[in-house]
Structure 1
Amino acid sequence: MLARDWYYNQRRKIGLDSAVASIYDRHDDSDLRARALLTMLGVKPGWRIADIGCGNGVLVCEAALMGAEVDAIDISPAMLALAQISARDRKVAIRTQSAGLLSFAYQPESYDLIVSEFALHHLPDFWKAVAMSRIFAALKPGANFYLRDIVFVRTPDGAERDVEEWAEFSITNHDFNRDSVVTHMRDEYSTFGWVVERMLCDAGFVLTSVDYHAPLHGTYLLRKPKHGEQG
């Protein structure tokens, strides 16, 4: 993509070094959870899969072990380094790409599955829609997009209650501290779940399922319609 002076700069908010990135590698069952997700998504040998915002690379490594061709995509060099270590430890081949939702390189209609977890909220709403359109273009007709992100389910009249609840949930379940929650609320771009749903549908996706299963967390399974199919 040609550089333009008005295009959103994802790299200005990388903010991750190796010490910070290491918090994403604390869960001993992460490989089991990744494999369960990939099994649920019907991954088959020979599929081409991208994980955008791949973090430490557990999911892409599990996909590679299942016989998929995988692209590990992340804006953070520290995260890509962790992904490469994971691949080496598991003796699998992955491709890495230093890019984000707005800049990852792709051939149109080339992916059987794209996954993105907790990356979309780094973008303002206009650029979220741009990212969704790029993902839609990259997927094969009939292929799926699996999205997890931090979203608001309720209206702002419950903001104080919701944020404190989310902080406690994150501390208890994900080893994050309260400062990380504060930073997210102040400096990042989560939006309402219904806005995310509308954006996804306007991009052309069919919403297969949605689950608002934890404080301020949303999970979406989307499908790109086949040619000639009504969305």
Structure 2
Amino acid sequence: MLARDWYYTQRRRLGLDSAVASIYDRHDDSDLRARAALTMLGVQPGWRVADIGCGNGVLAVEAALMGAEVDAIDISPAMLALAKIQASDRKVAVRTQPAGLLSFAYKPNSYDLIVSEFVLHHLPDFWKAVALARIHAALKPGASFYLRDIVFVSMPDGVDRDVEAWADFSIKNHEFDRDSVVTHMRDEYSTFGWVIERLLTDVGFTLVSADYHAPLHGTYLLRKPKPGEQS
């Protein structure tokens, strides 16, 4: 087997310091939105949950408050520091792991739920598939994967219009500046929604739902089939 010096590393895209990480800590209703998502996903006490790309740890902490055993995973030390503060402030135990979609440690068939929000676009499409296959392997049969990301719904002839709308939406609703939008389009790897859906089903997931909302946002609910079920 070839040495793994060819293996893609998300750490080369690391660059988040505490100042940048603080952007993700400004939304007062983020805990309510996280709790609503986790309730929709049916989180139960005793579940094993992983939040990959956990950011400031709000969702991970909310899952812990619901009685789950939680792994908060992120490649950014600044983000993990925020997650630890969140957990301490809310008086819950959350395990942190400095890793990304391609490097998080797991035991096969061990998680009841994995969540990943706005992280997959950091990977080129081949490596998206590798990451999704790892998530599939980490989940218990019958368990769910909840994915949100920045995706293209229209074809390229509509991209100019969509990107302008997304820029306006992100600036007005998420306090990002235009440079962040420019950097994303130029240097990151958002892809089409239909590509994401095909990647998800090809690695073995059943696509429960796909919701395309707001400019360039997609939300996917997936299930890992039990043995004998069709994916």
CA distance in 1, matches of 2:58, 2:37: 12
CA distance in 2, matches of 1:58, 1:159: 32
CA distance in 2, matches of 1:67, 1:39: 12
Aligned to 1:179: 179
User: How many residues align structurally?
Assistant: 230
Task: Tell me the secondary structure at the aligned position of residue 134 of structure 2.
Answer: helix
CA distance in 2, matches of 1:163, 1:111: 36
Offset at 1:220? 0.2
Q: Deviations over 1:103-140 (max 9, x none)?
A: 00000000000000000000000000000000000000
TM-align CA RMSD: 0.9
Q: What aligned pairs does 1:54-69 form with structure 2 within 5 A after superposition?
A: 54-69=54-69
The sequence identity of aligned pairs, in percent, is 83
Q: 1:35 to 1:129 in 2, by over 3 A?
A: same
Task: Tell me the secondary structure at the aligned position of residue 108 of structure 1.
Answer: coil
Aligned to 1:133: 133
Task: Tell me the secondary structure at the aligned position of residue 213 of structure 2.
Answer: strand
Q: What aligned pairs does 1:1-231 form with structure 2 within 5 A after superposition?
A: 4-231=4-231
Task: Tell me the secondary structure at the aligned position of residue 42 of structure 1.
Answer: coil
CA distance in 1, matches of 2:3, 2:80: 23
TM-score (norm 1): 0.98
CA distance in 2, matches of 1:212, 1:229: 27
Q: 1:173 to 1:3 in 2, by over 3 A?
A: farther
Q: Deviations over 1:39-64 (max 9, x none)?
A: 00000000000000000000010000
CA distance in 2, matches of 1:3, 1:57: 34
Report the AA paired with residue 75 of structure 1: I
Report the AA paired with residue 163 of structure 1: V
Offset at 1:226? 0.5
Ranges in structure 1 where 5+ consecutive residues have no aligned partner: none
CA distance in 2, matches of 1:154, 1:122: 20
CA distance in 2, matches of 1:167, 1:32: 25
CA distance in 2, matches of 1:115, 1:107: 16
TM-score (norm 2): 0.98
Offset at 1:3? 7.0
Report the AA paired with residue 23 of structure 1: I
Report the AA paired with residue 96 of structure 2: T
Task: Tell me the secondary structure at the aligned position of residue 144 of structure 1.
Answer: strand
Extract structure 1 runs of 4+ deviating beyond 4 A: none
Task: Tell me the secondary structure at the aligned position of residue 54 of structure 1.
Answer: coil
Ranges in structure 2 where 5+ consecutive residues have no aligned partner: none
CA distance in 2, matches of 1:203, 1:153: 21
CA distance in 2, matches of 1:71, 1:101: 13
